[in-house]
Amino acid sequence: MRPAYRVPVPETTAAAARFDVAKIREDFPILRHPVHGKPLVYLDNAATTQKPQVVIATLNRYYTAGNANIHRGVHFLSERATQAYEAARATTRRFLNAADDREIIFVRGTTEAINLVAQSYGRTFLKPGDEIVISAMEHHSNIVPWQILCEQVGAKLRVITINNDGELYLDVYEGLLNERTKLVAIAHVSNALGTINPIRQVIDLAHQWNVPVLVDGAQAVPHLKVDVRALDCDFYAFSAHKLFGPTGIGILYGKAALLDRMPPYQGGGDMISLVTFEKTHYNTLPYKFEAGTPHIAGGIGLGTAIEYVNGIGLDAIAAYEHELLAYATDALNGIEGLEIIGTAKEKASVLSFTLEGVHPHDIGTVLDREGIAIRAGHHCAMPVMQRFGVPATARASLAFYNTEEEIDALVAGIRKVKKVFA
């Protein structure tokens, strides 16, 4: 038997000790609303996060007193909405430490960001026989767009395998890179396992072959400080709704030099500078990739969410969540028949697990009656389930507003599951 997996904790960091979680919880109104008559224990943050009052207020204020279309009106409301939307772009640029606002494209979310790169970059620059490298721990949205592209251009998908802890085999990755490799697309943090990939190293190795790298940052930005210039990634994608912001909005960061060479992804309003029936001239970056009226309130709401997260500080968040993950890991390890899937040395706050003799959906259903929200299933990462030989897992995913008491409630809930199915 393998020794019980433990998350290494240095010693209580000053940042984690200072973290006032009770005060932070007051910022999230939904946490005061009971579920099935029980206090809500929300542990499904990898699917989507809850929204702080400031974000809700931003959306409310926009539709109450600020609604107008952007980039076109000369009237007061339109100009003000445009300013607020563009200010949110600048906030996002600072958040990622990108060099230029032109490198920040508003999209619907991570999924659309990846499809944009696949269809615009991929269809333009890939030819038959070329290869795209992904990993065995990708979310379907970082698999399927590349499969579609492969069918369209005759390229091939190559997959970096992972070990029993859910870590990349870097030597396998090095072996996959060659003159046919035209793109690497990889998760920064795995949604199903919690693994934090050594993304800087992944990027450096690809760049030795002049291969651009797209990083799926959906599960990273809520937990880690991301600096796209320090990483030197070529594309970085994330969704606002996993970062305490609204659904329906997200970001594609791309290096301007690459985005400039890429054709538009969709045609329509706002992405043009001149249209005649003979020829259309496209707008400059970032607007070339932003056809049609966007999710204006969502973009502005994302800006507020980022300011809120910055106010707490990602270093403090990471330190607190690390301690909570260690606490939860120890607590779950104490339950007989429970196995944690995803035991990487570098891990974000995701706990996937199986329970002997109980289907994950049954775990989820019993926990729900206790007011505890987790996700059960394949987490849109079916190849991860296949890799670990399980049909599904139960997954508790933590955010900075979760507490040790909530972990205790989860453990009590799982013990109840065991009794019900004994």
Give the catalytic positions in this structure: 380
- Of the listed pieces 108-116, 203-211, 276-284, 318-326, which binds ligand 7TS according to CB under 6 A? 108-116
Min separation Cβ 185 and ligand 7TS, Å: 10
Q: Does position 46 bind ligand 7TS by CB under 6 A? A: yes
Q: Does position 139 bind ligand 7TS by CB under 6 A? A: yes
| 89 alpha-carbon distance from chain centroid | 18
**In degrees, to the nearest 5, what angle opens at C-alpha 305 toward C-alphas 102 and 237?**
45
User: Do the strands 213-216 and 181-187 form a parallel or antiparallel pair, or are they unpaired?
Assistant: parallel
- Residues of span 190-249 touching ligand 7TS by CB under 6 A: 191, 216, 218-219, 239
Count the neighbouring beta carbons within 10 Å of the beta carbon of residue 173. 22
Write the DSSP string, 354-385.
EETTB-HHHHHHHHHHTTEE-EEE-TT-HHHH
Q: Where would I find the beta strands (DSSP E) of 287-347?
A: 338-341
Longest distance between any two alpha carbons in the chain, whole Å: 72
Cis preceding-peptide flag for 246 (omega within 30 of 0):
no
- Residues of span 154-193 touching ligand 7TS by CB under 6 A: 187, 191
What does the block give as tokens for 233? 């990634």
- Of the candidate residues 45, 111, 283, 329, the single one contacting ligand 7TS (CB under 6 A): 111
Q: Is 301 exposed, middle or buried (0-12, 13-18, 19+ CB in 10 A)?
A: buried
Min separation Cβ 250 and ligand 7TS, Å: 6
Distance CA 374, CA 368 (A): 8
Q: Could you give the C-alpha distances from 117 to 212, 333, 414, in angstroms and in order?
A: 11, 41, 42
Min separation Cβ 145 and ligand 7TS, Å: 11
Min separation Cβ 216 and ligand 7TS, Å: 5
Min separation Cβ 105 and ligand 7TS, Å: 14
As a residue count, the chain comes to 422
Q: Does position 86 bind ligand 7TS by CB under 6 A? A: no
Q: Does position 352 bind ligand 7TS by CB under 6 A? A: no
Q: Give whichever of 46 and 366 is closer to ligand 7TS, judged by the CB atom.
A: 46
Q: Give whichever of 81 and 192 is closer to ligand 7TS, judged by the CB atom.
A: 192
What does the block give as tokens for 144? 């399927």
Distance CA 314, CA 72 (A): 36
Q: Does position 332 bind ligand 7TS by CB under 6 A? A: no
Distance CA 343, CA 341 (A): 6
Q: Give whichever of 111 and 283 is closer to ligand 7TS, judged by the CB atom.
A: 111
Distance CA 413, CA 406 (A): 10
Q: Give whichever of 40 and 81 is closer to ligand 7TS, judged by the CB atom.
A: 40
- Residues of span 359-418 touching ligand 7TS by CB under 6 A: 375, 379-380
- Of the listed pieces 109-117, 122-130, 286-294, 325-333, which binds ligand 7TS according to CB under 6 A? 109-117
Binding-site size, ligand 7TS (CB under 6 A): 17
Q: Does position 45 bind ligand 7TS by CB under 6 A? A: no
Min separation Cβ 290 and ligand 7TS, Å: 17
Please report, as ranges, the residues that interact with ligand 7TS according to CB under 6 A: 46-47, 109-111, 139, 141-142, 187, 191, 216, 218-219, 239, 375, 379-380
